[in-house]
Amino acid sequence: MHARADAADTAPNWPDDIFATLQRFDVRQVPYVPDAGHSKLIQRVVSSSTMRGIALTTEEEGVALLAGAWAGGQRGVLLMQSSGVGNCINMLSLIPILRFPFLTLVTMRGEWGEFNPWQVPMGSTTQGVFELSGVKVLRASYAAEVPAVLEAAAAQAYNALTPTAVLLSQRLIGAKVFTK
């Protein structure tokens, strides 16, 4: 178990790999509900000239937003943490009905050395919720595999219209450390 690397000088590089892949796939709209594990990627997105970061009040807004973006000719990706997946369930029905490319990157809580028991129930059902909702799940647990997983996920989501979630495991992100 390692602590989350929040300081800039110790920040991991895998968010840069994700950003580069999203850029290469011409992703334009990036709705998100903030999570510590996504903080570096969100910083890259909001300072990008080609992507628009869109802060949401709840994750399901992002699913609907991506449907509208696609109708208007743009690709997007939804960033959230595992607890937000439950908030999306009914809105996920838009994906097979409207057949738009859906890619979401989910930072995991409730696993791998979790401190907070309240994160565990939704973290434990995140993958199942996606699969029951028709969203394919890929997982990245190590920094070295992030580029390949992202490449595969983006390719199948945008080229084959295969709804895809990438779970960025807590092992990759680091368990959140609570100190008094």
Partner 1 sequence: MSKANLLDRRQVVSTLLANRKDVVAIGGLGASTNDMCAAGDHARNFYLWGGMGGGAMIGLGLALAQPQLPVLVITGDGEMLMGMGSLATIGLQKPANLSIAVLDNEAYGETGGQTSHTSAAADLVGVARACGINDSRAVTTMAEVEAFAKAVHDISAGPRFANVKIDSASLERILPTRDGAYIVNRIRADLGFQPI
Residues that bind partner 1 (CB under 8 A): 28-29, 52, 54-58, 60-74, 76, 90-91, 93-94, 97-100, 159, 161
Which is nearer to partner 1, 70 or 130 (by Cβ)? 70
Which is nearer to partner 1, 24 or 99 (by Cβ)? 99
Q: Cβ 31 to partner 1, closest distance in Å?
A: 8
Q: Cβ 33 to partner 1, closest distance in Å?
A: 10
Q: Cβ 143 to partner 1, closest distance in Å?
A: 31
Which is nearer to partner 1, 132 or 143 (by Cβ)? 132
Q: Cβ 51 to partner 1, closest distance in Å?
A: 11
* Residue 2 CA: distances (Å) to CA of 6, 105, 113, 169: 12, 21, 9, 13
Which is nearer to partner 1, 87 or 169 (by Cβ)? 87
